[in-house]
Chain A
Amino acid sequence: DAGVIQSPRHEVTEMGQEVTLRCKPISGHNSLFWYRQTMMRGLELLIYFNNNVPIDDSGMPEDRFSAKMPNASFSTLKIQPSEPRDSAVYFCASSGTGNTEAFFGQGTRLTVV
């Protein structure tokens, strides 16, 4: 398996624009996580899906952020409108059921200017 695949790897956008980050989990994994990493806050969970259903979205900062998982092999994280404080590295991770390892994608480095 190619692992968790995220796209794009880098994104530079202007404030106010819509940004869409994409993630393809490892085949067969039924848990998917979106994390954001900043120097100030470290790695923080944004949202957790299990079997394509959002289970915990308490980490989503505000209404500008939304995430979807239309099927077992694809998820998106959307920011609309984007703001400079959204600049961070966004990671997607997936794992199997219960006591299994989580594997991370290479991340998307987002810069909002």
Chain B
Amino acid sequence: GIQVEQSPPDLILQEGANSTLRCNFSDSVNNLQWFHQNPWGQLINLFYIPSGTKQNGRLSATTVATERYSLLYISSSQTTDSGVYFCAVEGGSYIPTFGRGTSLIVHP
């Protein structure tokens, strides 16, 4: 199956800082999603982005499918951004396969 690697595994920021999270995948994909798991454990959809670039407020994402990676940008981070960010990809089976996530802590 498809392998998904996320980096960095852990990230600590001061409020207001910017960051870039990376997701590499081992094969061509049909779908790619970014999720935020908040401290209460809820998985929140951030982006559905099999290719191209999307923006939503302080967050944006870019997927370069031909080079098998996606990036999630967080600008002007806030304490509410803390949690774990997951990348999930779907190959031909259309089953989301998750990376191990990036754990983000934003200090005030």
Contacts and interface: CB of A to CB of B under 8 A. Distances in A.
Contacts of A33: 95-96
Nearest to A43: B98
Contacts of A42: 98-101
A7 B93 CA distance: 27
A101 B33 contact: yes
Interface residues of A, number: 23
Of the four ranges (under 10, 10 to 19, 20 to 34, 35 or more), the interface on chain B belongs to 20 to 34
Interface string A49-64: 0000000100000000
Contacts of B50: 99
A45 B93 CA distance: 13
A5 B103 CA distance: 26
A31 B94 contact: yes
Nearest to B96: A102
A102 B88 contact: yes
Interface of B: 30-31, 33, 35, 41-43, 45, 48, 50, 86, 88, 93-101
14 contacts: A33-B95, A42-B99, A42-B100, A43-B86, A44-B98, A45-B95, A48-B93, A56-B95, A95-B94, A98-B94, A99-B30, A101-B48, A104-B43, A106-B41
